[in-house]
Structure 1
């Protein structure tokens, strides 16, 4: 095996200066639990709407350490995971409304980085959704038809020859362009954290939440102190199951990625890829590839695994099997890059919910929550920040009426739950095999 560094590549692109942890007891207007994208965007939009609010954020490690800083960096208009399921559940009109809102967030993230001088390596390259077998070609055509039924414009499905002119992989049998952006997810998270601090939000690093005590004014308890607030926002995503109302509503699944050394000019010249688009394979368990700013190739995908007991320990980054599978897939796409050396091999957990769609709502009127991106949270969490702002402020708005919000028939109580282990463990393995079988149908 190659000499991999089991370190998140993005984490090596910017040094971190930790903010002081919470010490003692504090009162404030809003306490946000979780300093990733969801919590930071909620803090940003709340502070914009009501500058006088005293907002405190408690973060277990530091912003960008968790899923926000381990993402592959694709900012896409994807809502959850399955647009067909959204259409079936909510109708084409509401599904399109949500997709447009998330698509708008992609543009607004770019404006945010420029306005606040956040060097998040934001590139408006979009991405290419590609097919490598007949079943995936059919899926591209079905998705285009579905977009038409929703009233959304969709570029044509390209032939194998046309697709390979964009990205010169012999594995590609078709493709379609999708609007979006690429970012350095860690630098984006660190940048948002800086901006909200400059706006007057207090962020406590290394302050994991031990529990939230409900009440007229709920309390957030950490090892170093407690915060009593008028409103609390739960924005811990994959860790939402630590709170009783969300147990078995969300599970952690491990995804993996590899990042190479910078490619030489000679290596880059072997593969036509002038537009530097992201590359995503049209299947349920996604394979994706992209360039970093310094011309490393990032390749991710392969196994998506739930480990028994919801194991989130970092030792799972050191498992050899996922990286062998990723490297095999890489050579299937790019056999001309046999000599590319991968130096980073890492993983992290994404939050998955049973209906594959984000969930936002309130508990008892003074505790709000947001989670459930299923690995597609860079743009959706920006939209979610607006949803949480309006839920906290009690505003009836276009954001609080999006299909994300739990109300009526789609209440938290009615949200489907996962079974306990060992049923969950066995079921997750069966679900993975079922997805592979469905994707392979010709």
Structure 2
């Protein structure tokens, strides 16, 4: 019987000394709620633009503890989950412009890590979108055709033999290479936190936000003190439902991953994977696989459940039935590694919104800003989002403040999800419908 460590693998790759919590009432220029990627990149870009700003960040745990440090580490140009819907709403040109902005973030994250000596284990490997059945092959061809209509120059769809020369899985029937990178997301988050501290940003760990009191200068109320600021940025992603305007905008979907022991040279030799690309299956409830820096295999996918009552408790990491399903999927892709032992099995929540796309904007006359809705594809998009929130906070009209992510007169926030129990029943029905649609060629 397997004995898994229900701890996020990335969290074991770097030790953390917690920073001091907020223990006073203060004032500042900008208070950011949430110390994950969105909040940290916003602080970084604000300080780069206006070094004199007094910026404070309040975080319930510590930077990298939440979704940012639990991600699978794929840095991709993905915008939410439904680029076709964005094309229908905004047209090819604006969708391409947004995709290109997120694509630039992939490269800029690598430059940031090198410039600031952040050991994020950044690997510019690209990733391989793979098909394992006829319906997925059709989706690859449709995605390629859409990219061409948008004005991009996508890679060709490779047949099975060429695909297996890139990643030697017998399950793969075709593939398409996409620009991207791999990182250790926890080390990246911890590195950004260090850099912004060095720039003069104050980060308060173990300082959960209880509420935000609106006003000419909004006030962030934490368990230990209050911060009155000219601008408040809400960057809590899946926890945006804690704030009344977003209570029914976000649903927490659990995603799970397993990480193996380091592979031996003999095990590595069984599967052709010379470029170490990430592998992503071409479906909405995706399966993905990658090497870690120390040659472990991370394999993620399988069920993506919603638990009744928006249950985000850590006890949901102990779900044996989920890990059995993931391991079955792993063996479908890599029967050559049937003897590989998985040592880590864990999960976390991703924010899902009704239109499957990120949202950024202003509330309360512009004094309260927000960014959320990455739907599990946020490492590059949060970097872009930090620039969006920077320009919104500074009141600047720029290419970033005009991206289709921004809620303005042409676009509003996503529609509400229903209350329980309709939400729980609906989430189960949507999952079944997605699986059924994607099984049809």
Q: Deviations over 1:329-377 (max 9, x none)?
A: 0000001101000000000000000000000000021000000000000
What secondary structure sits across from 1:86 in the alignment? helix
Deviates more, 1:84-93 or 1:344-353: 84-93
Whole-angstrom distance in 2 between the partners of 1:293 and 1:65: 20
How far, CA to CA, are the matches of 1:237 and 1:106 in structure 2? Answer: 20
1:21 lines up with 2:35 in the alignment:
no
**SS, match of residue 346 in structure 1:** strand
Following TM superposition, the consecutive aligned residue runs of length 4 or more in structure 1 with deviations greater than 6 angstroms are: none
1:133-192 deviation per Cα after TM superposition (whole angstroms, max 9, x unaligned): 000011110100000110011000000010001111100000010000000000000000
Distance 1:302 1:38 in 2: 27
C-alpha separation between the residues in 1 aligned to 2:284 and 2:80? 12
Match of 1:424 in 2: 423
Q: Is 2:307 aligned against 1:310?
A: no
> Where does residue 437 of structure 2 map in the other structure?
438
**Is 2:226 the partner of 1:226?**
yes
Question: What aligned pairs does 1:47-126 form with structure 2 within 5 A after superposition?
Answer: 47-126=47-126
Q: Which position in structure 2 is the counterpart of 1:143?
A: 143
Deviations 1:222-264 (A, max 9, x none): 1100000011000000000100000110110000000000000
Residue of structure 2 in register with 1:133 after alignment: 133
Alignment match, 1:393: 394
3-state SS of 2:309 partner: helix
Aligned to 1:333: 333
The whole-number CA distance in structure 2 between the counterparts of 1:281 and 1:27 is 48
Q: 2:12: which partner in 1?
A: 12
Q: Distance in 2 between matches of 1:60 and 1:368?
A: 19
TM-score for the superposition, normalised by structure 2 = 0.99
Gaps of 5+ in 2: none
**What secondary structure sits across from 2:158 in the alignment?**
coil
The equivalent residue for 1:403 is 404
Distance in 2 of aligned mates of 1:357 and 1:254: 18
Aligned-partner SS, 2:19: coil
The whole-number CA distance in structure 2 between the counterparts of 1:96 and 1:434 is 29
Mean Cα deviation higher: 114-123 or 415-424: 415-424
C-alpha separation between the residues in 1 aligned to 2:256 and 2:160? Answer: 28
Alignment of 1:145-224 (within 5 A): 145-224=145-224
Give the aligned CA root-mean-square deviation in angstroms. Answer: 0.5
Q: What aligned pairs does 1:251-270 form with structure 2 within 5 A after superposition?
A: 251-270=251-270
Q: CA deviation at 1:410?
A: 1.4
Provide, for residues 6-53 of structure 1, a one-character-per-residue CA deviation record: whole Å limited to 9, x for no partner. Answer: 000000000001110000101100000000000000000000000000
68-77 vs 89-98, greater mean Cα deviation: 89-98
1:291 matches 2:291: yes
What CA distance in whole angstroms lies between the structure 1 residues aligned with 2:326 and 2:412?
Answer: 38
When the two structures are aligned, how many residues end up with a matched partner? Answer: 440
CA distance in 2, matches of 1:179, 1:169: 20
Measured after TM superposition, the shift of residue 386 of structure 1 is 0.2
Q: What secondary structure does 1:349 align onto?
A: strand
Distance 1:272 1:182 in 2: 18
1:265-300 deviations in whole A, cap 9, x for unaligned? 000000000100000000110000000011000000
TM-score by length of 1: 0.99
Kindly state the Cα deviation for residue 89 of structure 1 after the two structures are TM-superposed: 1.3
SS in structure 2 at match of 1:46: helix
Per-residue deviation, 1:411: 2.1
Unaligned runs of 5+ in 1: none
Instruction: For 2:82 and 2:322, locate their aligned partners in 1 and report how far apart those are by CA, in whole Å.
Output: 24
Matched with 2:363 is 363
